Amino acid sequence: MQKFCKMTMMTSMVMVGMMVSGLSAYAISVQSSIPKANQTLQAGNQEIMVKYDHDFNQFRSRLLLVGETGEPILIPATVSLDHTEVKTTYPLKAGKYQLQWQIWTWKGEESSGSIPFKVVGTAAAPVGDHSAANLSPAPATNGQSGNANAKQAPSN
């Protein structure tokens, strides 16, 4: 009888563990996007937006633009206040692209995917080259953040 009780108790604990782990796993998916998968856009400055069905940790997540060369470009973007949307405008030339996203929840769970699209036509030269955009802040000086090359006001 004692063995039966132990087996029943162990089986119950395993089942509860499986249920709890199944409840905590949550895959974030794309609710909507601009461009949509397999959409064709005109060359030039285009809006890029990805809206997810769940809030995400913006500090661990990323959105990459990958062109025909396969070279990923980290694109600067704005995250919505509710942490469910990433939005930017980017100058696109003719070619095939993919938006590759990797999203982390605040609980540390990861989801990823890609959105293929095509750009046709020619565009006027972009005002600024975003391909070398640096998303990290300038190095800090004297314990302060900001531009390391900026001159400090003399202290009294």
CATH number, domain of 101, equals 2.60.40.1220
Residue 134 lies in a domain: no
State whether residue 136 is helix, strand or coil. coil
The secondary structure element, H or E, covering residue 97 is: strand 95-104
Distance (Å, whole) CA 83 – CA 79: 6
Has residue 71 been placed in a domain?
A: yes
**19, 25, 41: which is closest to 99 by C-alpha?**
41
Tokens of 103: 């999203």
pLDDT band at 80 (very low <50, low <70, confident <90, very high): very high
pTM for this predicted structure: 0.62
Query: Count of domains in the chain?
Result: 1
Parent domain of 92: 44-120
pLDDT of residue 74: 84
- Does 141 fall in a domain? no
In the three-class reduction of DSSP (H, G, I as helix; E, B as strand; rest coil), residue 16 is classed as helix
For residue 5, being part of any structural domain is answered with no
Task: Decide if 131 is inside a domain.
Answer: no
In a domain, 112, yes or no: yes
Burial classification of residue 43, based on how many CB atoms lie within 10 Å of its CB (0-12 exposed, 13-18 middle, 19 or more buried): middle
Q: What is the pLDDT of residues 91-144, one digit of tens each?
A: 999 999 999 999 999 999 999 999 999 999 986 654 444 443 333 333 333 333
Q: Assign 3-class secondary structure to 43-74.
A: CEEEEEEEEECCCCCCCCCEEEEECCCCCEEE
Per residue in 27-38, pLDDT (tens digit) is 789 999 999 999
How many CB atoms are closer than 10 A to CB 151? 6
For the chain, how many helices (H) and strands (E)?
1, 9
In a domain, 59, yes or no: yes
